[in-house]
Structure 1
Amino acid sequence: MSEQFYSDARLYDRLFPAREPAVDFYRAEADRQGGSVLELGCGTGNKLIPIASDGHRCVGLELSPAMLAEAQRKADERGVELDWVQGDMRGFDLGRTFDLVIIAANSLLHLHGASDLVDCFRSVRRHLAPGGRLVFDVFNPSALMLAHADGVRRRREDLSFVDPDRGVVHVDVADTYDAAAQVTRGTWHFSTESESEADVVVVPLEIRSIFPQELPLLLSLGGLRLVERFGDWSGRPFTGDAAVQLCVCEAD
């Protein structure tokens, strides 16, 4: 499982800082829809806090207490008011509906089973106001990358970051791919330049792949339909070689 990966919220933010194009896309979607916004798997609030600062009524649902605590700290620091709820995106009841529900940054891929994904979509459907939309992003699986998931530890130079206490932190990842489950099971190693602190953190991370043709069916089983799918944050149409599946959905 991947809970340990999210137990250090500040480490997560340094590893995956907010990407401006993604934040801008979700802010624009919130402005286009108007009204209230629910984010599932909201993490430390990198998307939701800017949306709330634009004047939208926002709720963030997150399973990890550590991530929620950091989200609250960041919101307080910016003077932004919104509600944080600890909960599981597979089954929740907030007693209200929303004009926009978002699931950003591959958060949906922590649900490995088809039934888990359908349960999530059904929960979203129950929380959509009339005319409401679900918008989410997941990566577009690459057969070549999955074939290279051979369990060998490799340096990810694109993920290196600077820690204020440790200096430069390098990230190595060893992945294997379970084709039957469509799940990549990885071990992430965080190390510094200091030989005495070779691996400062070692954590597992398991992420599902959702292939383009199965996605509309999963949504349909959850009472939703895919109305648009983009291949990048600028709104380019989705193609087979796109890195991301950026999906806009409505109630079926």
Structure 2
Amino acid sequence: MKLYNDVAQYYDLFSLGLPGELEFYRRLAKGKNKVLEIACGTGRILLPIMKDGMDITGIDISQKMLEILKKKAKKDGFSPKVHLADMRNFRLKGKFDLIIIPYNAFLHAETSEDQISTLKCARRHLKEGGTLAMNIFFPWPEYMVKHNNKILKSRKPAFTDKHGKKIWVYDKPKYDYINQLVRVQWYFLEGKKLREKARVGIHLSFIYKKEFELLFRLAGFSKWKVYGGFKGEKLTNPKQQMVCLIRK
């Protein structure tokens, strides 16, 4: 995916994940024979699980993100099993006890067809009794209306690139309420005068809880739980993450 190739050099510096997210996936992976991470990126989740001694494989659609992952692993003396692949139609040897799709990555499947294809592909790679786990944001209408097509405040803190220059990142989300898509423009600004260094756009779908449950069923699943946090909290507030555990 070209957009993540464009942002790969900065990704680890500003995309830090969510509180409790890494610990959640490490707990799930503990004791599993084989784990697969879909959309593993630069290895924020995959590498700690690998260091825990788990047999984990990763796929991602961005070659540059995978190159960064491999460099980080090599520096720590590891040789990761990662593949350049599309989550909608990948084919790997063997099946997995656990498949994870962290940090809204499933939402890169923009159409219902792509979402079902991704879920079916994951299901084919799961062992009987295996678990598919993912976390995604809840589409909160009030938030979307308030922030639509507005440049949001810089993420804090600003980060320093490899040349020692301060970089600030601003977001500008534009919501398509009819087609349930959000197009987020990332602005990378440099120096005191905030000179634009780069601009990258990403597209995400947004999906509500009952839609997810229908997608799970259409993909062939019959058992799932949707929580409101990484500690099994009940989903009661639109500010919560939806944390899904789907069993084969």
Normalized against structure 1, the TM-score is what?
0.91
| Residues 159-168 or 112-121, more deviating | 159-168
Q: Distance in 2 between matches of 1:31 and 1:162?
A: 34
| Residues 35-44 or 11-20, more deviating | 11-20
Match of 1:133 among 131, 134, 141: 131
Structure 1 residue 159 displacement after superposition? 6.4
Q: Match of 1:56, SS? A: coil
Do the aligned residues in 1 keep the contact of 2:70 with 2:79 (CA within 8 Å)? no
Q: Distance in 2 between matches of 1:152 and 1:31?
A: 42
Residue 174 of structure 1 corresponds to which residue in structure 2? 172
The letter of the residue matching 1:9 is A
Q: Measured at CA, do residues 64 and 151 of structure 1 come closer, stay the same or move farther in structure 2, by a change above 3 Å?
A: same
Residue 220 of structure 2 corresponds to which residue in structure 1? 223
Matched, 1:238 2:223: no
Q: Distance in 1 between matches of 2:195 and 2:102?
A: 32
Q: Match of 2:72, SS? A: helix
Residue 114 of structure 2 corresponds to which residue in structure 1? 116
Matches within 5 A, 1:153-172: 153-158=151-156, 160-172=158-170
Structure 1 residue 20 displacement after superposition? 6.0
Matched, 1:13 2:12: yes
Q: Match of 1:94, SS? A: coil
RMSD of the TM alignment (CA)? Answer: 1.9
Matched, 1:208 2:202: no
Q: Match of 1:135, SS? A: strand
Residue 27 of structure 1 corresponds to which residue in structure 2? 26
Do the aligned residues in 2 keep the contact of 1:229 with 1:246 (CA within 8 Å)? yes
Do the aligned residues in 2 keep the contact of 1:6 with 1:12 (CA within 8 Å)? no
Q: Distance in 2 between matches of 1:225 and 1:73?
A: 40
1:52-107 C-alpha deviation (Å, 9 max, x unpaired): 11121111000000001011111111222331100000011112100000001111
| Residues 154-163 or 17-26, more deviating | 154-163
The letter of the residue matching 1:206 is H
Name structure 1 gaps, 5 residues minimum: none
The letter of the residue matching 1:229 is V
Q: Distance in 2 between matches of 1:27 and 1:50?
A: 8
Q: Measured at CA, do residues 177 and 137 of structure 1 come closer, stay the same or move farther in structure 2, by a change above 3 Å?
A: same
Percent identity reads 28
Do the aligned residues in 1 keep the contact of 2:6 with 2:200 (CA within 8 Å)? no
Q: Distance in 2 between matches of 1:244 and 1:108?
A: 13
Q: Match of 2:128, SS? A: strand
Residue 98 of structure 1 corresponds to which residue in structure 2? 96
Q: Distance in 2 between matches of 1:114 and 1:11?
A: 31
| Residues 223-232 or 180-189, more deviating | 223-232
- Aligned length in residues: 248
Q: Measured at CA, do residues 245 and 157 of structure 1 come closer, stay the same or move farther in structure 2, by a change above 3 Å?
A: same
Matched, 1:191 2:189: yes
Structure 1 residue 209 displacement after superposition? 0.6
Q: Match of 1:90, SS? A: coil
Residue 145 of structure 1 corresponds to which residue in structure 2? 143
Q: Measured at CA, do residues 184 and 20 of structure 1 come closer, stay the same or move farther in structure 2, by a change above 3 Å?
A: closer
Name structure 2 gaps, 5 residues minimum: none
1:8-48 C-alpha deviation (Å, 9 max, x unpaired): 3230111112556211110100115x110001001011111
